[in-house]
Amino acid sequence: MATPGFDSHTDQTRFDDYWFDGAFDEMFQAPGEPRAHYRALYDLLRELPLAEMRRRKQAADISFLHQGITFTVYGREEGTERIFPHDLLPRILTSREWETIERGLAQRITALNLFLHDIYNAGRSLTEGVVPREIVYSCKHFRRQMREFTVPQNRYITVVGTDLVRLPDGRFVVLEDNLRVPSGVSYMLTSRQVMKRIFPELFRTAGVRPIDHYSEALLATLRALAPEGRPDPNIVLLTPGVYNSAYFEHAFLARQMGIELVEGRDLAVHDNTVYMRTTAGLRRVDVIYRRVDDDFIDPLVFRSDSSLGVAGLFSAYRAGNVALANALGTGVADDKALYAYVPRIIKFFLGEEPILDNVETFLCGEPAARAHVLERLDQYVVKAVGESGGYGMLIGPNSTVAEREEFRRRILADPRNYIAQPTLQLSRAPCFFDGSVEPRHVDLRPYILFGDKLTIVPGGLTRVALRKGSLVVNSSQGGGSKDTWVLH
């Protein structure tokens, strides 16, 4: 805290509490020696009086509050809306680092899309044993209703968010893919707007690559999916509604693209054609960017208790009268058990070595691996394969005996449902905490758009575990975000 009467020029942001351990540090190559691309930020932090830093932090917080940039936490108080925690300091990547990430993701997504087409059609990768059949067929996201059906342009995954982490040696590896309804891109876009107001001097000198064209690229990607004979397609974004954790994002993207944000109750299907209810009567819908999970999208085909979807939507989809992005059944390819096979999938479909590696993964469904993991539960991170958002997870080193026993029981009851990965030393980036800068663990989620061409906007969502020592970056578990800068 600032002491009254203290000379404000010597009262500056402190680095005293900055520590170093085995993890890769994004900012420093050695204590007191910032990496070249962090130099400008470091110098600014040393120059600006603390009062000014506090003022900027406050201005950023107010801007987030007033824009209503919120997310909803499940499980506590129903529908609790929270401000998304945001750290003031940007996470910075060099263009070389980015170039590898970009190539690696393009390769991975192309292969996964081919894989999805394959398992729902010819199934070569299954007959040739690249991926065991039981992994695919036992996955709860496998949709047999999608068999023998050509999705528009053979494009299953149009919007992807892939989580990367950085290991102590500085390499980026893939932690997981999100191929169903990835979220978070709105935080990436809005936090950039705020940061441009907060740190104009850094933007001027650093040369940060822009990301504002994301919405336009998304719209073009969706338009490319329109059924034939619909030159001016009506594109809509289907949201589960305001109580969904990502509703802010749905509204934000719809507005950015200038398309209608619809809920299931706005749509109706008649004669295998989807319509939306407007004040001027019914209007046909051609492309749906759906942010509703497969399970809830059509009560006639999937969960019959869903009121979020549209009855008859699936048959209109199969009839080719409406396109969905992403396609249904894409969750097979981001299943955490299938994840272990992605390097082989890349090699099989593209004949290439993976550019971005996986994290070492043990499938509890395999007896040898299971035994190995059960003996060392305190060293591994155990994840339920069908879950996301940091729910259903055991972090071995931070767990209690009771929690480990609970997971042992769960793993033995349903081995296919669990994987284990070594506890990763995620890289750390500097964060601003009222007067002092401390390191916290971060990951990186770039967003990939797969349309007529593959687009990855330079940047992404850097999620940060704001709690000291925590490795969980999910917003539902006390994580926050940082603006991500890719330099020219």
Partner 1 sequence: MLSRVADSLYWMSRYLERAEHAAHVMGVHWNLMLEHDAGSAGPRWDRVLAALGYQDEVVGDPFAVAQTYALDQVVTSIAAARENARQVREQISSEMWEELNRLFHESRRIAEPESFGSQPHDVVSAVVQSSRLFQGITDTTMLHGEGWQFIQVGRSMERVQDTARLLDTHFGEFFRGGDAIGMSEHMEWVGLLRASSAFEAYCKVYTADMRPDRIAEFLLLNAEFPYSVRFGVEQLRRSLERVHQATATRKSDRLGKLAGRLTASLSYTPLEEIMSNLHEFTTTIRRLCGQIHSGIYQVYITYPIEAALEV
Q: Before 321, cis peptide (omega within 30)?
A: no
List 366's β-bridge partners, or say none. Answer: none
CB of 2 or CB of 65, closer to partner 1 = 65
CB 241 → partner 1: shortest distance, Å?
8
Q: Of 113-121, 132-140, 277-285, 292-300, which segment contacts partner 1 by CB under 8 A?
A: 277-285
> Does 488 participate in binding partner 1 (rule CB under 8 A)?
no
- Rounded Cα distance between 330 and 157, Å, is 7
CB of 48 or CB of 282, closer to partner 1 = 282
Asked if residues 340 and 363 have their Cβ atoms less than 8 Å apart, the reply is yes
Asked if residues 159 and 326 have their Cβ atoms less than 8 Å apart, the reply is yes
Contact with partner 1 (CB under 8 A) among 270, 376, 409, 453: 270
CB of 251 or CB of 359, closer to partner 1 = 251
Nearest to 236 by CA among 254, 224, 214, 256: 254
CB of 113 or CB of 239, closer to partner 1 = 239
> Does 61 participate in binding partner 1 (rule CB under 8 A)?
no
| Long-range own/partner contacts, residues 473-476 (CB < 8 A, 24 or more apart) | 473/390, 473/426, 473/441, 473/442, 473/443, 474/389, 474/390, 475/71, 475/84, 475/85, 476/71, 476/73, 476/74, 476/245, 476/389, 476/390, 476/391
CB 343 → partner 1: shortest distance, Å?
40
> Does 286 participate in binding partner 1 (rule CB under 8 A)?
no
- Rounded Cα distance between 222 and 225, Å, is 5
Asked if residues 448 and 455 have their Cβ atoms less than 8 Å apart, the reply is yes
Asked if residues 377 and 394 have their Cβ atoms less than 8 Å apart, the reply is yes
> Does 277 participate in binding partner 1 (rule CB under 8 A)?
yes
Contact with partner 1 (CB under 8 A) among 58, 100, 127, 278: 278
Half-sphere exposure of 384 (CA within 13 A, CB side): 16
CB of 22 or CB of 281, closer to partner 1 = 281
CB of 178 or CB of 239, closer to partner 1 = 239
- Rounded Cα distance between 481 and 442, Å, is 9
CB 221 → partner 1: shortest distance, Å?
19
Number of amino acids touching partner 1 (CB under 8 A): 26
> Does 280 participate in binding partner 1 (rule CB under 8 A)?
yes
Show the DSSP H helices in 322-400 as ranges. 342-350, 367-375
CB 232 → partner 1: shortest distance, Å?
18
> Does 276 participate in binding partner 1 (rule CB under 8 A)?
yes
> Does 282 participate in binding partner 1 (rule CB under 8 A)?
yes
> Does 67 participate in binding partner 1 (rule CB under 8 A)?
yes
CB of 102 or CB of 249, closer to partner 1 = 249
Asked if residues 226 and 117 have their Cβ atoms less than 8 Å apart, the reply is no
Residue whose token pair is 């490319």 = 224
Q: Residues near 426 by Cβ (< 8 Å), separated by ≥ 6?
A: 23, 165, 166, 441, 442, 443, 465, 471, 473
> Does 272 participate in binding partner 1 (rule CB under 8 A)?
no
CB 279 → partner 1: shortest distance, Å?
4
CB 413 → partner 1: shortest distance, Å?
41
Show the DSSP H helices in 341-475 as ranges. 342-350, 367-375, 401-413
CB of 72 or CB of 330, closer to partner 1 = 72
CB 65 → partner 1: shortest distance, Å?
7
Residues 229-268: x/- map of binding to partner 1 (CB under 8 A)?
-------------x----xx--xx-xx----xxxx-xx-x
CB 441 → partner 1: shortest distance, Å?
32
CB 109 → partner 1: shortest distance, Å?
28
Contact with partner 1 (CB under 8 A) among 51, 65, 371, 412: 65
Q: Please give the residue ranges that form the binding site for partner 1 (CB under 8 A).
A: 65-68, 242, 247-248, 251-252, 254-255, 260-263, 265-266, 268, 270, 276-282
